[in-house]
Amino acid sequence: MRRVQCNGARLCLRDVTEADVAALHAVYGDPAATRFMPFGALTPDQVGALVKEALEAAEEEPRRLYVFAVEDVDHHEVIGVARLHIEADLPHSAEIGLGLRPDQWGRGMGTDLIRLLLSFGFKQLGLHRVWGARSPDNLPAQLAMLTAGMVEEGRIRHHLPTPDGWRDSIVHSALEDEWTDR
pLDDT per residue over 27-39, tens digit each? 999 999 999 988 8
**In contact, 44 and 29? CB cutoff 8 Å:** yes
Tell me the pLDDT tens digit for each residue of 57-104. 999 999 999 999 999 999 999 999 999 999 888 899 999 999 999 999
Q: Read off the DSSP letter of residue 128.
A: S
Q: How many helices (H) and strands (E) does the chain have?
A: 4, 8
How far is residue 63's CA from residue 97's CA, in Å, rounded to a whole number?
17
Please, how many CA atoms are within 13 Å of residue 165, restricted to the half-sphere of its CB? 2
Closest CA to 77 of 41, 26, 111: 26
For residue 96, the surrounding DSSP H or E stretch is strand 90-100
CA distance 68 to 7: 12
Domain 5-178 fold? Aminopeptidase (3.40.630)
pTM, two decimal places: 0.93
Per-domain residue ranges for the chain?
A: 5-178
- What is the rounded CA–CA span in Å between residue 171 and residue 135? 9
- C-alpha closest to that of 113 among 126, 98, 103: 98
Q: Quick one: what percent of the chain has pLDDT higher than 90?
A: 87
For residue 82, the one-letter residue type is: A
